[in-house]
Amino acid sequence: MAVAREKDVLSKVDHQTGSEWWRGAVIYQVYPRSFADASGDGIGDLKGITDRLEHIASLGVDGIWLSPFFTSPMKDFGYDVADFCDVDPIFGTLADFDALLARAHSLGLKVIIDQVYSHTSDQHAWFQESRKSKAGEKADWYVWADAKPDGTPPSNWQSVFMGPSWTWDASRGQYYLHNFLSSQPDLNVHNPEVQNALLDVAKFWLDRGVDGFRMDAVNFFMHDPALRDNPKAYEFRGNKPFDLQEHLYNQSHADIPAFLTRVRALMNSYPGTFTVAEVGGERALEEMQLYTQGDKGLNTAYSFEFLEAESLSAKVIRDAVEAWPDVEDMGWPSFTFSNHDRPRAVTRWATDSDMEDNPAFAKMLNMLILSLRGSVCLYQGEELGLPQAHVPFERLTDPEAIANWPATLGRDGTRTPMPWRRDVENAGFSSHEPWLPVDPRHTHRAVDTQENDPSSVLNALRDFLAFRKGQPALVRGAIDFLDAPEPVLAFRRVLDGETRLCVFNLSGREQDWQPEGGAGTPLFALEGAKPGAPLPAFGTYIL
């Protein structure tokens, strides 16, 4: 039954409109500050990305996702937007963006950009107008509330980045809501005028030719207008104030799907575009499936189930994938092992330093995520097997890392500059001292070094993506997990009568396991793995 449904989808998409190219697509995430610096000021920019697009295209991915490059005071490095429809000067100009877009399209790459609709910077013109008066033109564009009789904030809500999520504004004489930094006031997306303004932002970029959006923090789009207090957490999730509450009222309002229906309707008027939602929190799975349900929600969504997993296991993988069954009206999943917000996977999941530095482990992780049912976000540097960089306290820039030091690895260590050339200053990222230091361990894994090594993590990824393009079952097929003992993971991908059996050894030790009825034609393997023989450390094969 599942196979038949997948066959119907593939037939409809490939032979009629081609508009659902994103099903099973691989999107390479670019963090602009850290990818390539063409201007020589130590900060990556749009021209630098354009200069390096051929590298991305050479991987065999389908498109790129650009993290924010919009006008911003950079308190949260671009996720505090001061102008949704312009480029911050540190990254370049709108003309530079247009040139990047044109070059990417000429190389066959789709271009996805971030859209941050839950909040803006406090420097945004909308907020500056809103704070002037309780009766002004944009008075209700943000979430304002009076103090309680004793002067305390309107509710007990806590911000993700520590402390209360309410800040007093003397200009207006009220508190404003911010689920993140105090310099990131929350938009009142309940307001139809705000919704219209955000849809106009989306249209601005769609008219320029972008192919889709990564929607930031979707479950933070709307709050409880009654401002009810959150209850205490039902279980221990951490020591930060934010972790001590169940987030029932500061986010996840029931009206969010109705706004997403408006977003989907706009996207449908631009054929071939798509949306991927970021959804975090304790109800992430429920909300992702709600926000992607049927033909009125967003196209796909990802959360932090892999990004926050403390260890890698077959159970972790299987539980996450099987949570998206192929049933009527179920959305299409997306997965990522690393991104700009969480430590890199080879560090998070390594059980010792040897494992972190073992190229075989990085190769296996890349092949694994690219073999699962769903679309894939591949973070810059994953093609090199980069570990989490060490950033000393005096060089930290991430407000979350500074506030929580030393209890967290923070986000700076995953945002350090991309290493392009081993024997060049700053690993070829910039002629100037970079905004974050280059980790010496990254220099030894630079692109130019791996280019010339047929057995490198880089070339293993290229080989597998080239192979995957000719395997529709691996791109859009159904998935069926086999019963196998940890740390072996085995599953079948099936489409249109073709079956691909995928077997992975997730550990650094040889495993003696064979699938029942595992006879078949070997198609791809790592570390010399093959059926009928013990699985080598981090070995994998596809039949």
Q: At what angle do helices 284-291 and 256-268 cross, to 10 degrees?
A: 40
- Tokens coding 34: 């850290």
Q: At what angle do helices 192-208 and 256-268 cross, to 10 degrees?
A: 30
- Tokens coding 212: 């889709």
What residues have CB less than 8 Å from 238, skipping those under 6 apart? none
Do 167 and 176 meet the contact criterion of CB atoms below 8 Å apart?
Answer: yes
Give the integer Cα–Cα distance in Å for 275 and 25. Answer: 13
DSSP letter (8 states) at residue 13: I
Give the angle 352-353-357 at the CA atoms, nearest 5°: 125
Give the integer Cα–Cα distance in Å for 464 and 422. Answer: 25
Is omega for the bond preceding 406 within 30 degrees of 0, making it cis?
yes
Give the integer Cα–Cα distance in Å for 125 and 519. Answer: 65
Q: In 10 A of CB 96, how many CB atoms? A: 19
Do 538 and 505 meet the contact criterion of CB atoms below 8 Å apart?
Answer: yes
Pairing label, strands 212-215, 274-278: parallel
Write the CA distances from 313 to 420, 485, 514, integer angstroms.
32, 10, 18
Among left, alpha and beta (phi > 0; psi -120 to 50; other), residue 241 is alpha
Strands (DSSP E) found in 190-307: 212-215, 274-278, 300-302
Q: In 10 A of CB 266, how many CB atoms? A: 17
Do 446 and 474 meet the contact criterion of CB atoms below 8 Å apart?
Answer: no
Phi, psi of 215, rounded to the nearest 5 degrees: -90, 115
The b-or-e profile of 48-64 (16+ CB within 10 A means b, else e) is bbbbbbebbbebbbbbb
Catalytic residue numbers read 216, 278
Contacts 24+ apart (CB under 8 A), 67-75: 67/29, 67/30, 67/31, 67/32, 67/114, 67/340, 68/32, 68/114, 68/116, 69/32, 69/97, 69/113, 72/121, 73/121, 73/123, 73/183, 75/121, 75/181, 75/183, 75/184, 75/399
DSSP letter (8 states) at residue 38: S
> 502 has which bridge partners?
491, 542
Give the integer Cα–Cα distance in Å for 457 and 378. Answer: 14
